[in-house]
Amino acid sequence: MSIVGDLALEAETVTPHVEAASERAKLPRRVWVGAAIVGAYVLVAIFAPLLAPYDPLAQAPLMSLANPSRAHLLGTDELGRDVFSRLIDATRIDLSVGMLGALLPAIVGTVLGAIGGYFGGWRDSMIMRVADVVQAFPTYILIIALVFVLGQGIGSILVAFTLLAWVAYARLIRGEILRIRELDYVQAARAAGLPSRRILSRHVLPNVIGQTLVYLPSDIVLATLGLAALSFLGLGIPLPTAEWGAMIAAGQPFIRDQWWLSTVPGLVVVGFGLGLSLIGEGVEEWTQL
Amino acid sequence: MDPAVNPALLNVQDLRIRLNAGPAQIAPVDGVTLAVDRGEALGIVGESGSGKSLTLKAILGLLPAGSQVEGSLRFSLSPDGDAEVSPDQMRGRGVSMIFQEPMTALNPTMRVGDLVAEGARGTGLRRAAAKRRAVELLDAVGVPNPAERARMWPHELSGGLRQRVMIATALSTEPALLLCDEPTTALDVTVQDQILGLLARLRRDLNMAMVFVTHDLAVIAEVCDRIAVMYAGRLVEIGRADDVLAAPAHPYTAALIASAPSFHDGAGRLEGIGGQPPDPRAFPPGCRFAPRCQYVQDDCRSAPHALISTDGHATACIHPEALTKVAH
């Protein structure tokens, strides 16, 4: 380094911003409550085979529609399967479809929105026109149609969710990028001659991705509910795999006498949704501080 | 010096920038010609809207989408003039920029050291070497405890330190030309002075050319070799800083100097410049300063805007003698 000059020792030190920063780092309590709830669901999903007292698929026709008892905590369904074991087993599929069903569109939407917003021009027009078309259709009808065409199964459900739900993320990210694109630090990165890909990944996306993170938890709720709704309509996970929505639907004919068959899976879905909503709201509050 | 044999580092020839403003098209920069030599500091002054910042952006090739550029902007990387390149090829290799607002010009999601190292990597350094280089650069721009500061986030630093970090970032690509867009306006006066001193020292030590855009004549007087004065998208006067400040040859420059507190001898009121700068949608014909000029004569309204040069001091005014008459 050829530059050796008289370094003026000055009173430029760390400003009180540091304290503000550590205050900012404090997440609202509800985030932790939500995280605890979601964490519990995740643990149940991971250890499902150990936690379930019975084989969730084992039928016992003689034991069908048994009331809750010490042997069967939540009774049995119309085929004599243990409802408690099925609820636990369903956690795996519902959580993975819910999370992937939100994460895949988030990734696709973020990438497309970033390209459109940053580069503009024909890329932007093309992406946003496709988004308009997708948004013009009623969501559930399109999902049902897509799953119908693609065939039942986790794969086609995820494809259908991704094809539809990316639009919200793309719009969100695009709008944010349009806001920060002309900011000095993005201009500075361009002035430094960095390649576009690096500017996008290091200077643009990290500053807009917060919006996606706020939106993501509520989208997981929607995806989980979406899967439950599809299963309820008979287009979800193929039988006999245990799934919350399918269990709610299957319990419906017996709602008068064995009300818990539909109600308990419903409450389980609500609990998961509540946990994620708490996280989402808390994170949003936190980012707005 | 024959320009064909030894071209200046930067040659701007009749630069014209057109923007779409609603239905109309405007040319906020309208025929600017200037050159910056290796190691030279050129100051561009003018009030808001005179086109000085746009000119800088054009030099960097960072004009907003939809703007059209006419004229030529050429860099000569080597003094023998065989490697003329356009702004797009220059970015990150020979030109850097320091922005006005140190608050918004540093990416808040990257550590200070990484920001500086990023540019250094562009010069071919490996990751670890670039990190060391970043600390050296932070040290060179007067950041105390550079190794420790390199691990901090921009929001943890004061305005003056942030501006130093930005200078280090700009230097990391080893530029031959440093563009400064009012780099001290957002800082308080003591820090402003330190930063100006730092820039002057860096320029000496690195033999780096600088283009300094500001509306503060005192800043220009302190840092620059030459001054270019812009008014309404055009260059109205250019020359050695001492000459221009001591004996302005354009009424607009004279009015600017009269309105600057730092050039005022302390007695009496500061002179304002009457009227408003013209609307870029309807620039007046002839000399664009004519409607506000107190020495205006009839032929000013049809005067050409070419600069008339005497001994490297050029003015667009066709009646500069009117000024000297008043002065004596």
Of B130, B195, B132, B119, nearest in space to B158 by CA: B195
**How many structural domains is chain A composed of?**
1
Residue A224 included in any domain: yes
- Judge whether A196 is closer than 8 Å to chain B, CB to CB: no
CB contact under 8 A, A202 and B110: yes
- Judge whether A58 is closer than 8 Å to chain B, CB to CB: no
pLDDT in tens, chain B (328 residues): 444 456 788 888 888 888 887 778 888 888 888 889 888 999 999 888 888 888 988 888 888 777 888 888 888 766 665 556 666 666 666 788 888 888 888 998 899 999 999 888 877 788 899 999 999 999 988 899 999 999 999 989 988 899 899 999 988 888 889 999 888 877 888 888 888 888 888 888 888 999 999 888 888 888 899 999 999 889 999 999 988 988 888 889 988 888 877 665 656 667 778 778 888 888 888 888 888 888 888 888 887 778 887 778 888 888 888 777 655 4
Residue from A6, A178, A183, A185 whose CB has the most chain B CBs within 10 Å, to mutate: A185
Residue B164 included in any domain: yes
Min Cα–Cα distance to chain A from B123, Å: 11
Residue A212 included in any domain: yes
Residue A2 included in any domain: no
A184-202: average pLDDT = 86
Residue B161 included in any domain: yes
CB contact under 8 A, A12 and B118: no
Min Cα–Cα distance to chain A from B97, Å: 7
Residue of A7, A193, A206 lying closest to B173 (CB–CB): A193
- Of the given ranges (A18-27, A134-143, A175-184, A208-217), which has the lowest mean pLDDT? A18-27
Residue of A nearest to B98 (CA): A188
pLDDT > 60? residue A232: yes
Residue of B nearest to A185 (CA): B105
Q: pLDDT at position A275, please?
A: 92
Residue A120 included in any domain: yes
CB contact under 8 A, B62 and A189: no
Residue B119 included in any domain: yes
What average pLDDT does the structure give for chain A?
83
Q: pLDDT at position B87, please?
A: 67
SS3 assignment for chain B: CCCCCCCCCEEEEEEEEEEEECCEEEEEEEEEEEEECCCCEEEEECCCCCCHHHHHHHHHCCCCCCCEEEEEEEEECCCCCCCEECHHHHECCCEEEECCCCCCCCCCCCCHHHHHHHHHHCCCCCHHHHHHHHHHHHHHCCCCCHHHHCCCCHHHCCHHHHHHHHHHHHHCCCCCEEEEECCCCCCCHHHHHHHHHHHHHHHHHHCCEEEEEECCHHHHHHHCCEEEEEECCEEEEEEEHHHHHHCCCCHHHHHHHHCCHHHCCCCCCCCCCCCCCCCCCCCCCCCCCHHHCCCCCHHHHHCCCCCEEECCEEECCCCCHHHHHHHC
Residue A8 included in any domain: no
Residue from B59, B89, B107, B171 whose CB has the most chain A CBs within 10 Å, to mutate: B107
Residue from B101, B109, B145 whose CB has the most chain A CBs within 10 Å, to mutate: B109
User: Positive or negative, the Cα torsion across B154, B54, B192, B273?
Assistant: negative
Asked if residue A7 lies in contact with residue B206, where contact means CB atoms within 8 angstroms, the answer is: no
Write out the residue range of the structural domain in which residue A183 sits: 28-56+72-288
Residue of B104, B197, B201 lying closest to A184 (CB–CB): B104
**Chain B partners within 8 Å of A189 (Cβ):** 107
**Chain B partners within 8 Å of A211 (Cβ):** none
Residue B259 included in any domain: no
- Judge whether A190 is closer than 8 Å to chain B, CB to CB: yes
CA A123, chain centre distance (Å): 27
Residue A162 included in any domain: yes
Residue A148 included in any domain: yes
Min Cα–Cα distance to chain A from B168, Å: 12
Residue of A nearest to B122 (CA): A194
CB contact under 8 A, A192 and B122: yes
Q: Please report the ipTM that was assigned to this predicted complex.
A: 0.77
- Judge whether A1 is closer than 8 Å to chain B, CB to CB: yes
CATH number, domain containing residue A81:
1.10.3720.10
- Judge whether A194 is closer than 8 Å to chain B, CB to CB: yes
Residue of A2, A15, A121 lying closest to B205 (CB–CB): A2
Residue B125 included in any domain: yes
Question: What six digits make up the tokens of B294?
Answer: 């107190």
CB contact under 8 A, A9 and B144: yes
The residue behind tokens 């702004």 is B87
Instruction: Report pLDDT digits (tens) over A77-122.
Output: 878 788 899 999 999 989 999 999 999 999 999 999 999 998 888 9
Residue B122 included in any domain: yes
Q: pLDDT at position A15, please?
A: 43
Residue A216 included in any domain: yes
Query: What is the interface size between A and B, counted as CB pairs within 8 Å?
Result: 116
Q: pLDDT at position A144, please?
A: 87
pLDDT category of residue A8 using cuts at 50, 70 and 90: very low
Residue B159 included in any domain: yes
**Chain B partners within 8 Å of A185 (Cβ):** 104-108
The answer for A 120-149 residues in CB contact with B (under 8 A) is 120-121
Q: pLDDT at position A129, please?
A: 95
Min Cα–Cα distance to chain B from A201, Å: 11
Residue B123 included in any domain: yes
**How many structural domains is chain B composed of?**
1
Write out the residue range of the structural domain in which residue B110 sits: 104-174
